Amino acid sequence: MAATQRLLNIALPPLSLVLLSSFMIPFLIFKVFIYVRNLFQTDEKLENKVVLITGAASGIGEQLAYEYGRRGAVLSLVDIREDNLVVVAEKARSLGSPDVIIIAADVSKLQDCRRFVDQTVNHFGRLDCLVNNAGIGKPSGFKDWSNASEFTPVMDVNFWGSVYGTLCAIPHLKTSRGRIIVIASVFGWFPLPRSSIYSASKAAVINYFETLRMELGRAISITIVTPGLINTGLGLTVVKERSIMGIFPMLSASELAKSIVKSACRGDMYLTEPSWVKVLFPFKLLYPQIVDSAVRFLIGLSRKRNDSATELKLE
C-alpha cells in the first residue's frame, strides 16, 4: 500500500499537467461556443412561473423580487421581517407580478421552511424556482470569541436555512423540472480576516449545492451565485470594517439581481459578479502563500489608516 501511494505521488502530478494541457484548447473552444450561443439566446419566459425568494425584505432578495416581478412571475416572498415584506410585495405587484404572497418565517427553523414551501404550493399549485437568498453576517475575529454562541445564527441562517428550504422544495421542483438559485459569496472561496464564520458558512453552502447538483443530475438546475462587494447593508459593513475595501467599486443590488435572473434562465452552473472578481480564483489556487501575504499586508495597511483616522478625531 505504501509503495502504491509513493507511485501515485510521483506519477500523478506530471500526468495531471499533461491532461490539463490537452483539455485546455477543447475547453476554451467550448466556452467560446457557449458565450456566442448566449449572445443569441432569447430569455426564458417567466410569466406566471412560481418563484419563492427567502430573505426578500431587503437587499439582494428585495431586488430579485422586483426583477422577477417585471418579468411577470408570481412570487412567494419569505422573510422574518413581515412589515418590510408588505412594502416589497406592493412594489413587485406594481412592476408587473400578477400575484404575490408574503410569509413571515425563520429559515433556520425546519418547521418554518416546511410551512413556507407548503403555503406556496397550496396557493399557486406548483413551485418553479427556489431562491435561497436569506443570509446574515457579523464581522468576527478570534478575539471576539468570548461567547461563541453569538455566532451560531450565522451558520444556522446561511447554511441550514438554505438546506432546510431546499430539502422541503425538492419534490415540487422535480415535478416542475424547476431550478434552485443559491446566493453564496466570493468569501466562500476567498476568505478575508474577520469574516471567518461568515466565510465558513458560505463555503459550506457552495460545497453542499455542488454535491447536490451531482446527486440530482438534470432533474433540477442549480445556479450558485458568488457575489463580491455589493451595495447592501452587509457590503457597507465590510467596507466600514476594512476601509481599504473602499477602493473597490461596489455593484448595486439591482444590477446583481438582473444578472442572477439572466444567468439562472440560461441554466448557468455558476455566476460571479462583478465578473472581474474571478481573476482572484487562480491566484488563490496556484499561489496561496503570496495571496496570504498580500491580504495580511492590505489588512494591516487598512488597520493603520483606521487608527490614524481615530487619532485625528480625538485631536
Q: Give me the active site residues, please.
A: 198
State which H helix or E strand residue 181 sits in.
Answer: strand 179-183
**d(Cα 222, Cα 218) in Å, to the nearest integer?**
9
**Whats the size of the chain, residue-wise?**
315
Q: Which three cell numbers stand for residue 261?
A: 435572473
The helix/strand/coil state of 36 is: helix
Greatest Cα-to-Cα distance within the chain, rounded to the nearest angstrom: 69
Could you tell me if 271 and 230 are in contact, meaning their C-beta atoms sit under 8 angstroms apart? no
Give φ, ψ of 56 to 5 degrees.
-90, 0
The helix/strand/coil state of 230 is: strand
Task: Look at residues 229, 215, 182 and name the one whose alpha carbon lies nearest to residue 64.
Answer: 182
**d(Cα 119, Cα 130) in Å, to the nearest integer?**
14
| SS3 annotation, 65-110 | HHHHHHCCCEEEEEECCHHHHHHHHHHHHHHCCCCEEEEECCCCCH
DSSP label at residue 96: T
CA-based Rg of the chain, rounded to a whole angstrom?
Answer: 22
